[in-house]
Each structure stands twice: as structure tokens, then as C-alpha cells.
A and B are shown apart, each in its own frame.
Chain A
């Protein structure tokens, strides 16, 4: 434990030393004394290095004006010429910003921060101002996500060199606080001079690329970060005088940057992992690695040695995490972290304002209207004074000034398809369900809706497509939808309502579409038997009825049956027998019943 803590302090040192070189740290942790201590240590190092402290925080719903900058109305009026107000990002140049509750960060905000991280500058094109501002920042993203479907924006994950997990630390197991102080004591100018002479040898780089492949990390940036980290570690090491980082530096860099991103254990390495198009590897092409990577034995030895050492730093829970990832991958064919869900605001948050008249379209945003009018006052006064000599009002507002408030149009709708993929008649319904999902997705861009898909067959109900608006992801998931087996209706209803509840919590409006013949034959505990299965399904339906969600039950059996109708009735679903509907009809039915 102590060792990990020290490693985390070391990376705090690195981030303070060169925030924009490392992008930052994703800190996965609940709020608590451990996180506070780490942040405290970081801030101490930052003070020592003369960074802007206290570290500035960026709230998850920050406006562009505060983030990027804009016209400073007050000074502009005082001085009679346009004065630019710097945004938070530009203010924090050469420093570190903190993103509390980073998992709630809006996608737009994350994209703006990512741009700043990429280019080390931001271009401002707002309020009549055009300026490029230097912005070499690092971010500390505090990830407090609890549920599996919450994540920090993948853009930010990609651009932050370090991902740490503090939840594993018990307060008592931490070393004495004296330890933390040692890390704030170093000479940055010495590090910078040392840095210019240190570089990695070719075989070291080869080894790092190989390790990344073995750990199933497709990102090139991750390897770049590892190279950088190794160089900085060597430069920081006062006992090291060489120009090539030592084995130990490389190992530490690997365990700081690559290990937390691992998506597979090195032993089961497989080149296939890196290509997004290929399906998850079968167990039997484990040998592929050998033939695919042209490596000389020497390189391989170095690679293995580093990996062996780094393995010691693999946290105890990595295995468990990898197992989770493996499971997630089986369910969802998108590889690695590429498919994690996007967290943007789904609540009806105000989104700033836009030009327009406050008629039917929206409500007047008074402040923004005044702001828009203010710069032109001198000009207008002169004009009105020339035109008519009547006294004019204090503020001259014209049609162009009006601003209306913009909210996210409405809460997003999540349409979840619960598709019976069991043996019987369902096989041929699958294609139609897939088609309907895609047709609905095609409309999603305009409607700002999301679609998910749960398929049930055999003894399982799995979430094949987690809520998404992206056709790319949907296609990938749909391609792998298998069919055949029993009908575990109870489980299907349970998972559907779990998902619906989760999305309700996020402020979405979930709707459910069941596509089934309603003939349950697998009980909740996975055992076959029609009677028990039906009882369980009815029970699930009663539970589900407690969640107020609009739903549509499409009976796909050739002749409508009582069982299905009964369950639909219990849930409170709209029951619709559609024995021969195609994709087109299905999507029409969904739109008509659920979305008007």
C-alpha cells in the first residue's frame, strides 16, 4: 500500500512539474480523507513550484463565457473600449484545474478542455473578440462515479496521463504524513536541464509499444505518455546521471501510465484486440501474438522483463476489474474503452442564450439582452439624438439585442427495446428488431433521443446495446446479436426496469418496447419450466408496474395469446399484437404510441 501511495505522490509531482505535458490525473475516489490528503499533497507541491493556488475548480455546467472568456461589460463601459475578460482556462495557464464530479461534466465542456489540452492554447471567437490565448494546463478530474454506467468523458480519460484509484486505500494503511512532504522538495530548473539530455533508446521504445499491445491498450497517446513519464522520472532522479532512463524508470512509467489502462492481462495477449473492427478474440487464437509481431528475441526479453517487474505493481483489484471488462466485452462487442457511455447533461439545464425574439420560441433572457445592447449605447444615443430631439430612455434596446434563453430542449428520451431472441418464432423477429432500432436511431439526431437494446434468450437477459445515440456503436452491437434458447421473461422485465430506473435517475425519460410472444419458459432462477416461469414473469411485471414508465408490448406470436396480454396488462403496457410487422411498421408503431 505504501508503495502505491508513494507512486501516486510521485505522479502528483510530475503533473505539477509539467501540467500540459501530462494532461492530468483522473482520480477515481469517493470524497473522503484519503482523497483530501492526496489533493492536499498535490497542492503543497504546487505551492512549492509557484503554481496558481488554491487550484481553481471548474464546475460541470460552466458557461462558455466563464470557461473561454468574453466581453467584460463592466470594464468595457468604464473604459469606453472593448475589454476582454479571460476565461478560467486562460487564467490557469501553466497551472492545474480541478474538475469536481468529473463524471457529470457536459460533453461540450469536456471537448473544450480537451482542445486546450491538445494544443496548449485556446482560440476565442466570442462577443466580437478574436484572440488566441496560451493555455498550458493540466486537469485533476475527480471521478466519483458509483454505478458502472457512469464514466469520465473518454476524451479526457485519453488525454490525462494518469488514472488513479484511491478507493482502495484505507486511511489507516497510509504512511505517516511526513512522507508527503518529501515530494515537494525538488529543483525544477535542474529537472528541466536534465530533461533536454535524456532520451529513450530505440529498443526501450519498442518494448513499450509491445507492452501496450500486450496489455490491450490501443491508444498511441498512452505510449507517448509512458515515454514522457520515463524521461521525467529519470530527470527527477537525483541519483541518476545517465542520459538514458534506467530499467527502473521505465518500469515505474509502465506501472504509472499503462497498467491502469490495461484491458487484458498480458498472458492472454492478442493482437486482434487493437483493431476495433474485429470481434473479441476466440480463446484458441492465443498464439496469434507470436506470429504477428516481428520482434527480435532481445527486444522480447526486455519487454518481458519490464512487464514482469510492472506486474508487481498491478493492484490487487485489477484482476477483478479485468474480469468485469471481459464480461462487458462479451455483452457489448465494442472493444476496450472505446464504447463507454458518454456523460452529457440530460437534464433541462439552461444552456446560455441565443439571438431571437421572445415570442413563442422562448423566454426572454433579460441579462443577456442588456449585455448585448450595452456596447452599442454610445452609437445609438448619437443616432437618436440626431433623429429626434425628444429625450430618450436610459438604455436603448433594439430588435437585434433580444436574447432568448436556451435550455436543453427537453429531457432526452431513452427508448429501450427488449427483444425476445429465444428459439421459437423469435429468430425471424430479430432482424426486424434490429432494423427498427436503426430506423429509430436515424431519427435520433433530430430528436436528441437515445436507444438501448436488451435481448433475452437461454437463461439470460443481456444489455446488448447500452444507451446511445451513435449509429456506429449500435451497428457494432447489433451485428453480434445471437438467437436461440428459452424465454427468460422474468429476467428480461427485471433488467428492462433496472435500466429504466437508472435512466430516470439521470433525468431521462425512459420508454420500453417489448418484442416477444410472451411465452415464458425459464424461471427467474434460470431453471426451465413453463408454470414457474409464468408466475415469476407476472411477479416481475407487478414490480415493474411501480416504476412509472411508458411502455409498449408488441406481441409477435402468430396468434395473440393470453399470457402475453396478461403480463402487458400487469405492467401497464400498451398492448399491440403485430404478428407480421417489418422494421418500418415497428418503428412507426413505436413513434406513434410512445413519442407523440
Chain B
């Protein structure tokens, strides 16, 4: 299978890259939605992310990849195992980045009876679906705004509860499905359902770069990659390693990063000024700012960190103001300039 274009070789698009790294660093931020013009490297960036993720430790043979440190209350298999005294065997797997392609059917998304076993053995067995595979990892939906409505409903439900419940053919399965939602699409092809939009922690808009130098660079790198992917990947391995190192360091740092009261106040003021609904905006903004600080290796979140991630964290949470033509991003930026000049 062909290898993906390296994440670090993407020219420009700093906002998008930062948002993706933040979402990857702290799953509690709630994922990222990338909307933008055709051919801006949206899906390239998401697919490139897979190569940057560290491995994770899972309970051996657990079909859901449960965390050995939190087995109680996880899937049925691990839950029963956790109460026994026996030592749990573990294995290391790469963090999953699972594609939810258009045209997927419900049974594959949720999981259903194993058709092979039913046919050959006449046996009822549950075959986990994409949501199970994405547990503790990422679920990527390209063209998220074209996804069938009934699939959107399923996703909204599972993304909120972190649990997937399947009731079918007398089979009753409940398993954890906590994943980071990553979506991309072109806004001109239709709006996203507000409920689904709300599930995304961050939202970024990408545009085609318009400066000559940037465009030339994109074409050159793409051309190199196309002509000789192996050489190109080796060439960029150093940069990839750098980001990987940055992520590992940030992951260690993140639990100790502090946000003082003044910053909390900043976040609250900003959200109140913009009139975002609910507390989710503040929480996401705070978590995302901490992740930005961690990525920079800082111990404390500064106002600068908050300012850098405020637009992606808040722009999709604003109420639409029919009489204000400016985009939500501009409105957030304007608020930032007014409040924290």
C-alpha cells in the first residue's frame, strides 16, 4: 500500500497543523473539524497524523484494545479479568486511526453478528465494528458533511456517551468506544448538522495559499514525493522525528501544565463576550490552551497560548448573527483584539 505524505512536509497551514496536534495530544479536547477549499491538504494532514502517534499498551487479545490501567468497567472481557487476581498480559499496538468511509453500512459502523461464523458454524458471535476499532484512537470522516443522516445520528450518540450499545438478534453487547472525532469537508457542499458540529472540540478553516512562494513549494514537494516516495520520506524522516519527539515530551508535560486564575478569567471573559452557548466552549478553550503550552514545553499557560487556539476552539460555537456578515473566525479574532489588546 502506498505510504502517506508526511505531516511535517505540508507547506504552511499552521493553524490546521496546530489544531490537529492539540487534538491528538489531549483527547479530552474533543477532536477537530477541518473545513476548507478543495485541494488544500485537509485529508493529507489527517492521514499524515497516523505516522506521528506513539504506540499504546493494551490488554492482550482484547478486541477493543482496552487500557490495562483502567480495566474495571471497560469491556466485558476486561471487566471480568480485572476482578481476578491474575496478572494481566499486555501488548503494544499502534494508536488506531480508523477511516469511516462514505457508503459504510450501519452494521459495520456499530458492529453486528459475525456473518462468517453464522454461516459456517451457525453460531452467534459479535463482530466489532469501526467504532470498536477506533476506541482510544481516532475516527476520521472525510466528507463529513455528506455522511448519511442515520449514521450521523449513531455517531452523535456514541461520541457523547463513549459507549456503544448493540442490541441485535438477541445479542446484547456494550463496549467502550471513546475516540477522537476528526472530520473534514468542503463547506460549500452543505452544512454540518449543529449537533454533530458541537461534538468537535476544535474547528479550523483552511484556504489555498495565495502567495507565489508557498504555491511553488507545494508543487515541488508534491512532485518529489510522487516521483520517488521512498527518498522523499527518508528526507523528511528527521522532521517527522522532531514532531514525534515534541509530542512525546508534551504528553509527559501535559498533566503538570498549570493554568492560573487570571487565565481562567480570560477564558470566561472571552466566552461571555462572544456569547458562546454552555460551558463546553470554556472547557475546550482551557484544555486546548494547556495542550498548546505543553507542545511548547512550557509549565504555565500564557495568554499567548490562549490567543493562538481561541479561534479554532470557539468559532463553531458562536450563535449565528444574521445581520453580521463577518465570518465567525473574524468575530473571535475581533473579540481577542478588543479584550486582550
Give chain B residues whose Cβ lies under 8 Å from the Cβ of A354: 106, 150
Q: Which of A125, A218, A472, A475 contacts B108 (CB 8 A)?
A: A125
Q: Which of B73-81, B155-163, B217-225, B300-308 contacts A (4 or more CB under 8 A)?
A: B217-225
Binary interface profile of B, 90-118, with partner A (CB < 8 Å = 1, else 0)?
00000000011111111111001111101
Contact check, A475 vs B327: say whether CB atoms are below 8 A apart: yes
Contact check, B190 vs A220: say whether CB atoms are below 8 A apart: no
* Given A112-B102, A132-B1, A209-B215, A470 and B118 contact (CB-CB distance below 8 Å): no
Contact check, A205 vs B219: say whether CB atoms are below 8 A apart: yes
Bound state CA distance, A405 and B188, in angstroms? 29
Does A191 count as interface, using CB distance less than 8 angstroms? no
**Closest residue on chain B to residue A468 by CB atoms:** B188
Binary interface profile of A, 126-142, with partner B (CB < 8 Å = 1, else 0)?
11111010000000000
Contact check, B216 vs A478: say whether CB atoms are below 8 A apart: no
* Given A112-B102, A128-B112, A200-B223, A376 and B118 contact (CB-CB distance below 8 Å): yes
Does B173 count as interface, using CB distance less than 8 angstroms? no
In chain A, positions 56-82 with a C-beta closer than 8 Å to chain B are 64, 67-68, 71, 76, 80-82
Does A295 count as interface, using CB distance less than 8 angstroms? yes
Q: Which of B119-127, B239-247, B288-296 contacts A (4 or more CB under 8 A)?
A: B119-127
What are 19 A-B pairs at a CB distance below 8 A? A108-B103, A108-B146, A111-B143, A115-B101, A118-B43, A126-B105, A127-B107, A155-B189, A205-B220, A209-B212, A213-B212, A219-B39, A220-B209, A221-B39, A275-B207, A445-B193, A445-B194, A469-B191, A471-B187
Does A434 count as interface, using CB distance less than 8 angstroms? yes
Contact check, A210 vs B212: say whether CB atoms are below 8 A apart: yes
Give chain B residues whose Cβ lies under 8 Å from the Cβ of A223: 215, 219
In chain B, positions 189-218 with a C-beta closer than 8 Å to chain A are 189-194, 207-210, 212-213, 215-216, 218
Does B238 count as interface, using CB distance less than 8 angstroms? no
Contact check, A224 vs B37: say whether CB atoms are below 8 A apart: no
Bound state CA distance, A67 and B103, in angstroms? 9
Q: Which of B25-33, B264-272, B274-282, B317-325 contacts A (4 or more CB under 8 A)?
A: B317-325
Question: Interface of A with B (CB < 8 Å)?
Answer: 64, 67-68, 71, 76, 80-82, 107-108, 111-112, 115, 118, 120-130, 132, 154-155, 158, 196, 199-200, 202, 205-206, 208-210, 212-213, 218-221, 223-224, 227-228, 271, 274-277, 292-295, 338-339, 342, 354-355, 375-376, 378-379, 381-382, 398, 400, 431, 434-436, 438-439, 442, 444-445, 469-473, 475, 478-479, 583
Does B130 count as interface, using CB distance less than 8 angstroms? yes
Give chain B residues whose Cβ lies under 8 Å from the Cβ of A154: 38, 188
Contact check, A107 vs B189: say whether CB atoms are below 8 A apart: yes
Q: Which of A68, A71, A382 contacts B115 (CB 8 A)?
A: A71
Bound state CA distance, A121 and B103, in angstroms? 14
**Closest residue on chain A to residue B191 by CB atoms:** A445
- A-B CB pair tally, cutoff 8 Å: 190
Contact check, A115 vs B212: say whether CB atoms are below 8 A apart: no
Q: Which 4 A-B pairs have the closest CB atoms?
A: A125-B108, A438-B322, A435-B322, A125-B104
**Closest residue on chain A to residue B212 by CB atoms:** A293
Q: How many whole Å from A357's CB to the nearest CB in chain B?
A: 14
Bound state CA distance, A486 and B43, in angstroms? 49
Interface of A, secondary structure class, is: helix
Q: Which of B169, B226, B325 contacts A376 (CB 8 A)?
A: B169
Contact check, A355 vs B212: say whether CB atoms are below 8 A apart: no
Contact check, A220 vs B39: say whether CB atoms are below 8 A apart: yes
Does B168 count as interface, using CB distance less than 8 angstroms? yes
Contact check, B119 vs A375: say whether CB atoms are below 8 A apart: yes
Q: How many whole Å from B105's CB to the nearest CB in chain A?
A: 5
Q: How many whole Å from B16's CB to the nearest CB in chain A?
A: 15
* Given A375-B115, A470-B190, A472-B188, A338 and B37 contact (CB-CB distance below 8 Å): yes
Bound state CA distance, A24 and B279, in angstroms? 49
In chain B, positions 30-63 with a C-beta closer than 8 Å to chain A are 37-40, 43
Give chain A residues whose Cβ lies under 8 Å from the Cβ of B142: 115
Bound state CA distance, A354 and B188, in angstroms? 27
Contact check, A473 vs B108: say whether CB atoms are below 8 A apart: no
Contact check, A115 vs B191: say whether CB atoms are below 8 A apart: no
Give chain B residues whose Cβ lies under 8 Å from the Cβ of A123: 99, 101
**Given A81-B120, A127-B105, A442-B320, 20 more pairs with CB closer than 8 A:** A80-B120, A82-B115, A125-B105, A125-B129, A126-B108, A205-B223, A220-B208, A220-B218, A221-B38, A221-B39, A271-B210, A276-B207, A276-B208, A294-B213, A295-B212, A400-B168, A435-B322, A438-B322, A469-B191, A470-B190
Does B84 count as interface, using CB distance less than 8 angstroms? no
Bound state CA distance, A355 and B114, in angstroms? 18
Bound state CA distance, A132 and B2, in angstroms? 12
Q: Which of A111, A125, A158, A219 contacts B130 (CB 8 A)?
A: A125
Contact check, A199 vs B191: say whether CB atoms are below 8 A apart: no
Does B89 count as interface, using CB distance less than 8 angstroms? no
* Given A82-B116, A276-B207, A227 and B219 contact (CB-CB distance below 8 Å): yes
Contact check, B146 vs A434: say whether CB atoms are below 8 A apart: no
Bound state CA distance, A292 and B210, in angstroms? 10
Contact check, B103 vs A276: say whether CB atoms are below 8 A apart: no
Contact check, B210 vs A199: say whether CB atoms are below 8 A apart: no
Contact check, B187 vs A125: say whether CB atoms are below 8 A apart: no
Q: How many whole Å from B48's CB to the nearest CB in chain A?
A: 13
Give chain A residues whose Cβ lies under 8 Å from the Cβ of B320: 438, 442, 471
A108, A128, A295, A339, most chain B CB atoms within 10 A: A128
Give chain A residues whose Cβ lies under 8 Å from the Cβ of B112: 128
Contact check, A470 vs B322: say whether CB atoms are below 8 A apart: no
